[in-house]
Amino acid sequence: MGLINPQAASFLVTGSKDTACMFIHGFTASPSEVYTVARIVYAETGITVSGPLLPGHGCSPQEMNQTSWEDWYGRVEQEIRHLKKKHRRVYITGLSMGALLGLHAASETKEINGIIVINTPIYTTSPRLMSLAPLLRYVKPYYRKKQQRDMAELARQGRFAYDVMPLKALQSMHVLRDKVIKELPGLDLPILLLQSRWDEVVDPRSARFIKEKAHQAPVKLVELENSGHIATMGPDTNVIADQIIEFVK
């Protein structure tokens, strides 16, 4: 395993023995993009918050292309077991791909009490890339991300993420997405859905799709009026934290 960038490290802030909330970062990113919200939640509630770094992230795109969704979920599963040993209630908050992993965890284990999903990529604004990734990855293993206006600002705020998408890993995320879609009707635990109005990566239809398909689960849908994709570092950071706090309480 390559060297982890210091900005991409996992975090764990220990608090209440009763409740813990794991925060899962997105594709090609790191816990740095969910840390701000996690700290607010901890400061306001005193519950334990953790943010594991997923395999292949925080090092290099080359290393990430050697991992798959099973590897990423394995780390999530490990963290659930660790938190459950010391806490009565465990919640998951996931951003983007982290939301897919959280939804999958909800169908795989009874060890969690609820999930908060933010900008879940059921539908993306780049469907052509997703459909071509299985073939394109043999021609070029990495696809340079479109330079969004806020990427430089997010980096200045401390977010670590790759500037390319490893296509073999991207295809694996798509497999996870398809798996989650099939699992949605079987979910029955509480779900808080947060969707950015100005998401440049995920089509907002995604949240409505989840709400419709997870018909057995108590679902609350909240639209984030001022945010882009990385909502956990945007103008609605406090709104997200408040929603999580209310949901966990």
* Secondary element (H or E) of residue 167: helix 167-183
Q: Of all residues in the chain, what percent are helix, strand and coil, respectively (each to 5)? A: 45, 20, 35
Pairing of strands 142-144, 164-166: antiparallel
Q: Is the pLDDT of residue 129 over 80?
A: no
Q: Looking at per-residue confidence, does 157 or 128 come out higher? A: 157
- Give the whole-angstrom CA distance, residue 194 versus residue 22: 16
pLDDT value of residue 33: 98
If DSSP codes are grouped into helix, strand and coil, which group holds residue 208?
helix
For the chain, which domains are there? 6-248 (3.40.50.1820)
pLDDT of 163-219, one tens digit each?
Answer: 998 999 999 999 999 999 999 999 999 999 999 999 999 999 999 999 999 999 999
Closest among 78, 53, 80 to 67, alpha carbons compared: 53
Is residue 34 within 8 Å of residue 105, measured between CB atoms? Answer: no
pLDDT by residue (tens digit) across 25-56?
999 999 999 999 999 999 999 999 999 999 99
Question: Taking the CB of residue 57, how many other CB atoms lie within 10 A of it?
Answer: 29
User: What six digits make up the tokens of 36?
Assistant: 């701000």
Q: pLDDT band at residue 151, thresholds of 50, 70 and 90?
A: confident
Backbone angles phi, psi at 248, to 5 degrees: -70, -35
Predicted confidence (pLDDT) per residue in 43-91, tens digit: 999 999 999 999 999 999 999 999 999 999 999 999 999 999 999 999 9
pLDDT at 218: 97
